[in-house]
Amino acid sequence: MPHLRRLLGFVRPYWRLAVLSLLILCALVVLDLAIPRLIQRVIDQGIARHDRAVVVRTALTMLGISAASALLAIANNVFSVRVGEGVARDLREALFLKIQRYSFGNLDRQKTGLLLVRLTSDVGAVRTLTQVSLRIGTRAPLMMIGSLALMITTNGPLALLMLPLLLVTSLLIAFFVVRMEPRFRLVQRKLDALNEVLHENLAGARLVKALVRGEHECARFDVANEAMTLQSIQVMQFVASMTPALTMCINLGVVLVIWRGGLRAMEGALSLGQIVAFTNYLLTTMSPLIMMTMLSNTWASGLASLRRLDAILDSVPDVRDAEGAEAIPASAPASVAFEDVSFRYAQAGSDAVLSGIDFTAAAGKTIAILGSTGAGKSTLVSLIPRFYDATSGRVRAFGRDVRGVTGDSLLRRIGVVPQESVLFSGTVRDNLRYGAPDASEEAVIAAARAAQAHEFIVELPEGYDSRVEARGTNFSGGQRQRLAIARALLLDPAILILDDATSAVDVETETKIQTALAAGTRGVRGPGEAPGRTTFVVAQRVSTVLDADTILVLDKGHLVAQGTHAELMTSSAVYREIYDSQLGEGPRAPAPAADGTPP
């Protein structure tokens, strides 16, 4: 199975510990199988002949074997746990690295709650599968094979009598195991749905509280929780039916041994010790089968999780470097051009978000993008750093097709401030230096001043060393936006993208930020770096874009106008309508008809 081959690949770095664990397990099985034979010796040679020395020596031998078995079992557990935990660690790392390489399209399709389940619950199930396989999972079949062989050597005819029963028991186990794994896959799907509801509720807890939607969220949770519970009950009921069925097979086997063995013993063909030894070997043959069946839920759950993890590990990022991709030279001018670009999201049936976009932005210019909600503004700027690939047409940056350059070299020269300002737990300084960990203190302060963040930072109890809670919840929306802008400026990017990055900032502060950006406030320039920064500003407020070198007006994914503010006021009805609604005298009323009738 390809899934098991993948698991073996993760076990391979720990093969020495795994082999040592299995060797210890083999020794443990040999010692355990010796016990019934020693019991036979005690009965036949000690008790039956009244030989005290045989009883004492054999009892001491059994005691030594028990002590050795305990030590070997401990060693086996220790080594198997190390292997299992190592596999889990490597799996988590591989999954995390794969997710880090995901493009925006992959992240759109993979829900956050689902990825969290993969990194936690599914990895835990595979870890348990690995540990169990190195302990009970391997010990059980070895015990069964060894016991069957010793049953035959103890009494062949009686062993042949047991073979049909063992065959029926094996088929019964196969029936349960085959039907178990699909059921556990359904449980995992219900767990995904439950975790998605939990993640959404916890992430939006403040909104739920503000809109008094607690009862609604409780109802959603109850539906997902009930579905998970019902599916789990069905699986557990199926598992619970196995033990009685297998126990009945064991009891039937014991009855057959006592009946047939007793008759043979009365005929003098069997000794009492042989009957006891044979019964013990029968139990050690059948018990591992039950043990393996009881563990089938662990295996089924682990294999289902392994399949889900393989789906993540085998996935391919939508956006990746082309073969032969080259790095962008530091001296390349920060120009951007869209050449008949169209884009639609990968989801089936999605409409085109952008259609036939054509424009050129020269290096060092400020390009504003204006339009109604859903016009495609954020999608357009997302194509520049290649968060998505254009469906058709070509996007050029730094004089090159973005598909033909390495992603890292492209992103290192672009600073992005998204609509939602994301801050990480840590200090203010750590957040500002997130993309430039080696930035000097002077550069940090300069970037904060340009983003109009320095003043409120120094007023914090510990200044730049003040703590930032997860997601920046201890800062206002405007403060988070200013910190995000400062973080982007500290990168000293050749292209700066502000995606509605000042929507939560007051007009006065926004004007100061625009003035600082227009003055070209930057960090330390690299050697040979081309002067001037190209800035893209996605805005909802017309006041934000009045001084831009070029304003792009989008409407339903189409570029309907472009030019300066003065040019657009005379040439674009869409732009004039936006301007009048925000800064003019309001929307213009339709003119009356020629005959004087109102419109």
Give a yes or no: residue 517 inside a domain.
Answer: no
Give the distance between the most distant pair of CA atoms in the chain: 132
Asked if 198 and 126 sit in the same domain, the reply is yes
Asked if 140 and 73 sit in the same domain, the reply is yes
Give residue for tokens 């737990």: 425
Give a yes or no: residue 394 inside a domain.
Answer: yes
Q: What is the DSSP letter of 548?
A: -
Asked if 164 and 49 sit in the same domain, the reply is yes
Give a yes or no: residue 422 inside a domain.
Answer: no
Asked if 144 and 279 sit in the same domain, the reply is yes
Asked if 233 and 340 sit in the same domain, the reply is no
Asked if 266 and 409 sit in the same domain, the reply is no
- The CATH code of the domain that includes 114 is 1.20.1560.10
C-beta of residue 221 within 8 angstroms of C-beta of residue 202: no
Give a yes or no: residue 584 inside a domain.
Answer: yes
Asked if 187 and 134 sit in the same domain, the reply is yes
Give a yes or no: residue 23 inside a domain.
Answer: yes
Asked if 350 and 280 sit in the same domain, the reply is no
Residue 499 and residue 468: Cα distance in Å, rounded?
Answer: 23
Asked if 169 and 36 sit in the same domain, the reply is yes
Of all residues in the chain, the percent with pLDDT exceeding 70 is 91
Mean pLDDT of the chain: 82
Per-residue pLDDT of the chain (599 residues), as tens digits, is 677 788 888 899 999 999 999 899 889 888 888 888 888 788 778 777 788 888 888 889 989 998 999 999 899 999 999 999 999 999 999 999 888 888 888 777 777 777 887 888 888 888 988 888 888 777 777 877 887 787 777 777 777 777 777 777 777 777 777 777 677 778 877 877 887 787 777 767 767 777 677 888 888 889 888 888 888 888 777 777 777 777 777 777 777 777 777 777 776 666 777 777 777 777 777 777 667 766 776 777 788 788 888 888 888 888 888 888 889 988 888 999 999 999 988 765 577 889 999 999 999 899 999 988 888 899 999 999 999 999 999 999 998 999 999 988 998 899 999 888 888 888 999 999 998 888 899 999 999 999 999 999 999 989 999 998 877 888 888 889 999 999 999 988 999 999 888 877 888 888 888 888 877 533 334 444 445 789 999 988 888 888 889 999 998 899 999 999 999 999 988 888 888 888 765 444 444 444 444 44
Give a yes or no: residue 250 inside a domain.
Answer: yes
Asked if 240 and 365 sit in the same domain, the reply is no
Residue 261 and residue 151: Cα distance in Å, rounded?
Answer: 13
Give residue for tokens 């169209």: 342
The domain of 119 spans 2-313
- Close Cβ partners of 155 (under 8 Å, ≥ 6 residues apart): 261, 264, 270, 274, 278
Q: Under the phi-then-psi rule, with left for phi > 0, alpha for psi from -120 to 50, and beta for the rest, what region is 587?
A: beta
Among the candidates 313, 343, 358, a domain finishes at: 313
Among the candidates 282, 313, 344, a domain finishes at: 313
Amino acid of residue 130: T
Amino acid of residue 342: S
Give a yes or no: residue 462 inside a domain.
Answer: no
Task: Please write the tens of the pLDDT for every residue from 408-450.
Answer: 899 889 999 988 888 888 899 999 999 888 889 999 999 999 9
Give a yes or no: residue 526 inside a domain.
Answer: no
Asked if 256 and 403 sit in the same domain, the reply is no
C-beta of residue 142 within 8 angstroms of C-beta of residue 21: no
Asked if 338 and 309 sit in the same domain, the reply is no
- The CATH code of the domain that includes 390 is 3.40.50.300
**Of 177, 143, 137, 133, nearest to 8 (Cα)?**
133
Among the candidates 264, 283, 313, a domain finishes at: 313
Tokens at 169, concatenated:
């028991």
Instruction: Domain count for the chain, please give it.
Output: 2
